[in-house]
């Protein structure tokens, strides 16, 4: 599911909770109780029941477990997308290799986002609070409570008379990122003439799995970043979950430095951190891409790069799962081009003459 936020006027966002665990169903329902503008309208123990409940209850969104009897989460995503394309899907995932792999599969099949599955152990109050903090914003990002005119877009900042030739490509992305990156990175040629740096908002394990998935589908090399990793032409480096990724100069080479400094924009890794460090090392000799995502991480970093002459590409609203990060850049007048997802790779190749 992609595109602009769904307008919800005069009513609450209706959520169906799908999980084979009665404990988790109660926990999720409890986390949504009392949240302004959101209501849990029902629950289901597996995908077969969920499809029946969707038809009966007409939810706007479902939360969906992956491992369930009769019809698991992946099969359910396929059927929901086929029968009810407008329903938003938020997966529940475990922080394991298996959970990460299945979640990325679900996103590729059309799920919109994911949250970490709450634990059955520990304090109920703590579990409720953690779940509420993670899930509620994920649900709200897809909906607009009232119809309105689109916010005006600022005119593009004055173009530089001469631009530095780009020496590095930097990409920032969040919600909808795995699918977006799977459309962009395979579109770059094996002899791409610059290193590629990617910050995708994801937890540990997930970023390693993402890099492996992209590598299997791409001509260029794709790896998860390691401390001291050397930036090379034709190699994409993905920031690891829970670490900020910086670029440093060492003995004449550009290398990766990782740290666990404070979160920025509530994110670690943060796009702004990566963009800022690239600006310090490369100045404006960069091309920056802002893809689908919630919030405005990357806005300040884009402003810095753009002020030095970097070329900025933003994904358009129609093809974004959530037009938050690109919207912030477009509205600030920082985007040189605003293109649909399938046009991003071509625009990148154009900037690097390849």
Q: What are the residue numbers of the active site?
A: 174, 201, 297
Residue 288, strand partner residues: 170, 312
**CA–CA separation, 72 vs 48, rounded Å?**
9
236, 186 in Cβ contact below 8 A? no
The set of residues, in sequence order, having a beta carbon less than 8 Å from that of 329 and lying 6+ positions away, is 290, 298, 299, 302, 312, 314, 335
Q: Which residues of 60-98 are buried (b: 16+ CB within 10 A; e: fewer)?
A: bbbbbbbbbeebbbbebbeebeeebeebbbbbbbbeeee
Tokens of 212: 């492996």
**Could you tell me which residues come within 8 angstroms of residue 159 by beta carbon, excluding any fewer than 6 positions away?**
336
DSSP character string of 281-306: HHTT-EEEEE-SBSS-TTHHHHHHHH
Residue 86 near residue 13, CB atoms below 8 Å: no
d(CA 245, CA 241): 10
Whole-number Cα distances in Å, 198 to 22, 89, 129, 184, 290: 39, 25, 31, 11, 10
Nearest to 325 by CA among 201, 177, 183, 174: 174
DSSP string, 157-219: PPPPSS-PPP-EEEEEE-TTHHHHHHHHGGGS-TT-SS-EEEEE---TTHHHHHHHHHHHH-S
Tokens at residue 141, please? Answer: 């990002």
């Amino acid at each position: 599911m992609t595109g602009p936020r769904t307008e919800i006027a005069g009513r609450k966002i209706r959520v169906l909770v799908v999980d084979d665990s009665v404990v988790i169903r109660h926990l999720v329902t409890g986390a949504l109780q009392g949240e302004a503008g959101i209501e849990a309208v029902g629950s289901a123990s597996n995908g077969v029941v969920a499809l029946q409940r969707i038809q009966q209850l007409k939810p706007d969104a479902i939360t969906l477990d992956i491992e369930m009897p009769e019809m698991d989460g992946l099969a359910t995503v396929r059927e929901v997308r086929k029968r009810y394309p407008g329903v938003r899907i938020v997966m529940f995932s475990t922080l394991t290799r298996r959970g990460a792999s299945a979640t990325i599969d679900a996103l590729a099949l059309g799920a919109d986002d994911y949250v970490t599955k709450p634990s059955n152990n520990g304090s109920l109050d703590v579990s409720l609070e953690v779940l509420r903090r993670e899930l509620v914003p994920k649900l709200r990002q897809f909906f607009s409570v009232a119809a309105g005119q689109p916010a005006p877009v600022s005119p593009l900042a004055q173009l530089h008379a001469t631009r530095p030739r780009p020496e590095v490509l930097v990409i920032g992305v969040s919600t909808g990122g795995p699918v977006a990156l799977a459309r962009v990175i395979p579109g770059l040629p094996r002899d791409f003439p610059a290193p590629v740096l990617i910050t995708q908002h994801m937890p540990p394990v997930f970023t390693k799995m993402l890099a492996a998935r992209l590598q299997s589908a791409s001509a260029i090399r794709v790896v998860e970043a390691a401390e001291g990793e050397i930036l090379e032409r034709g190699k994409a480096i993905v920031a690891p979950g829970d670490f900020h990724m910086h670029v440093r100069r060492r003995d004449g080479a550009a290398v990766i430095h990782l740290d666990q400094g404070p979160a920025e924009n509530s994110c670690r890794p943060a796009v702004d951190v990566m963009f800022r460090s690239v600006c310090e090392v490369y100045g404006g000799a960069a091309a920056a891409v802002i893809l689908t995502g919630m919030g405005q991480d990357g806005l300040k970093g884009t402003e810095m790069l753009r002020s030095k002459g970097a070329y900025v590409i933003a994904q358009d609203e129609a093809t974004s799962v959530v037009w938050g990060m690109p919207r912030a850049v477009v509205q600030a007048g920082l985007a040189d081009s605003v293109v649909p997802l399938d046009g991003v790779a071509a625009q990148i190749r154009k900037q690097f003459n390849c």
